[in-house]
Structure 1
Amino acid sequence: MQVAWIGLGEMGLPTAMKVAAAGHAVRAYDVALPAAAKGLELAASPREAADGCDLLCIAVFSDAQVEEVLTGPDGVMSDLKDGAIVAIFTTGSVEAVQAIAAKAPAGVAVLDTCFSRRQSEMLPGKLTLLVGGDADAIERGRPAFDSFARAIFHVGPSGAGRKIKLVNNILFAGHLQLAVDALRLAEGLGLDRAATAGALVECSGASEVLHRFIVEDAAAILESAHRYMVKDVAAAADAGAAAGIDLGTLGAVTATYRSTWPSG
């Protein structure tokens, strides 16, 4: 399978290399090309990467970047061949990915392919793929998807993959904030943070995020997650508001992320 991969960040690079290691030809592009990209053919532009591809994978940060790659002035959507699949791994608004799918040329399938991973299993090949869109396109993309996903869930039509990813990410953000506060309580009671986290992962109060607190400082964990959590919690809250859903306790626990999201 000829695969184009746009976005070689923390998740994109190792996942693209996993696809290449499975025997697929992967032509990749990023605005900051990596020093090491084993098995990848690096392209000078998204258009060069996408030329003739069977599967276009997009793993950039925001909806605006996805739209630039696909439908911007130098967008590649109109050049994709009949039968091509576009897999969008970016987490963002449901409406944005549905709008992109609606604008796709006839014969081009757009999937919202959101991946997630357990905090205790951080390597490519241990990912869960949450997919919205056409079932046949998912099956046609499986040769590549199976190289990095241990489980693939077709959760519904276009936008459904993003919906469940937003539910996951706001829940993750809530778990993260609760873990920070719980371990702050533990330290206030004279307990060691790492030892407490190591014990709690085996107890009824366990959550996946606690694994990280065994070996990492809380401030470092929050800093690394903050940019993504602010974006994703805001998108989840907006989706809930549009559906008339009160987030209840989940909203209260994640309020710190929404308070730092720029308005407008």
Structure 2
Amino acid sequence: MSNFAAARNALLSVVNRKILSSKITTVNKDINKKLEIEINAFKSLLDGIEGKFRKCEMLYITYFENIDHAVLSGNPATLPYLMDCTFIDGTATLRQVFECDDRLLYKEIIDMNFQSFILMISSIYECLVTLSEVMLKKVIIHGNKPPQSSPLHDYRTFLKILISLGYRRNDELSTCINGFDAYFDGYLLTIYSLRNSFVHGYNQNLASDTLTYKIIRFESHFAATSPLLNVDVFTKEVLDRSRDFINSLYGTLARASSHYRKSLPA
């Protein structure tokens, strides 16, 4: 399973150093109290990001990596479906066995775990926005009642607007996020469209095209017949790019705030 220890430790080192040297301001906390810089809360935020990501990895490996498109397309010939997974995280080992002998139940399990995957990824992205706004000066400003969290696509949009207006400059944060534009432009709105559908609606947003099991709710970046919408392909791309982004953002936030003259939020 993924290990973010090197990037995490570099980030924690910067925060600890700033706290010990009293290089902390309340400029973001004054806008939103949850952005207070406190080491235990900061560790909990990182734990939440990494724990949710590992859960997404487990969902992908257990249910999507070797998904049986034939069964999901109506052919039960290969049932029962069996997946025996062993997950290793440091010195910890977890074995998970998934076996199903019914086509409709298998479809239901895939549908529900895809929903869990999307909701978890969406939550990770919102936590990464929170992390950025703990470490760096705020990008999104709300009134007296800030929302619980801000979607990553809103954060990207506001950051680009502030830069274009000259209120912020192109810096390490914008360079980091812009480096993932190809992925975000293609996938982020579809992820949030699916997320909102799952939270506020009842559709599963998956269906078979008679050969493969695909996402049927998507934004204009994708063509309806694109293999990128196959559940296994889509979840793999989201997982890989999200892993890369977490590592990149951790490193960016550490570098952007590490100078001894800078206070947090930088």
Tell me the TM-score normalized by structure 1.
0.29
| Structure with bigger RCO (C-alpha 8 Å, 6+ apart) | 2
TM-score by length of 2: 0.29
Instruction: Answer with 1 or 2: which has the greater Rg.
Output: 2
Structure in which a larger fraction of residues adopt strand: 1
